[in-house]
């Protein structure tokens, strides 16, 4: 277990939690104006709430991993992302642009993860 309570920056964790809560509230208030359309207004903020939950679980799991595992994984993940950046050019256009492709029911934009691996 690589999580050290003394070295953990609780200030950043609290700010991150506040930003997550603010995002859910902002989407809830913004989506309440779409009353009368076919979609339920709750679907937008429920989706955001699910992503917040997934983000918190991901953060906890990443904090539990030993740091050397990232040294081992970074190069293969980098090349997989380069391949995804090439593959996205040959996928059908979404909104007139070749920037996304569907991955497990979600739209994935490889340029976002490329920022992490470079």
How do the domains of the chain map onto residue ranges? Answer: 1-65, 67-118
The pLDDT assigned to 2 comes to 58
Residue at token pair 């050019």 = 89
Q: CA 45 to CA 27: how far, in whole Å?
A: 6
The pLDDT assigned to 14 comes to 94
Task: Note the pTM of the prediction, 2 decimals.
Answer: 0.66
Q: What averages of pLDDT result for each successive group of 10 residues across the chain (118 residues)?
A: 69 93 88 60 80 92 87 92 91 80 80 86
Q: In the 8-state DSSP scheme, what is residue 90?
A: G
Q: CA 106 to CA 84: how far, in whole Å?
A: 15
The pLDDT assigned to 102 comes to 77
Is 41 in contact with 34 (CB distance < 8 Å)? yes
């Amino acid at each position: 277990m690589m999580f050290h309570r003394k070295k953990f920056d609780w200030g950043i964790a609290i700010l991150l939690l506040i930003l997550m809560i603010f995002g859910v509230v902002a989407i809830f208030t913004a989506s309440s104006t779409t009353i009368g359309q076919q979609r339920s207004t709750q679907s937008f903020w429920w989706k955001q709430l699910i992503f917040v939950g997934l983000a918190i679980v991901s953060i906890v799991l990443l904090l539990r991993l030993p740091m050397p595992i990232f040294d081992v994984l970074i190069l293969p993940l980098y090349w997989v992302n380069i391949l995804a950046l090439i593959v996205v050019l040959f996928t059908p256009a979404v909104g007139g642009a070749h920037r996304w492709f569907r991955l497990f029911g979600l739209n994935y934009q490889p340029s976002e993860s490329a920022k992490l691996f470079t």
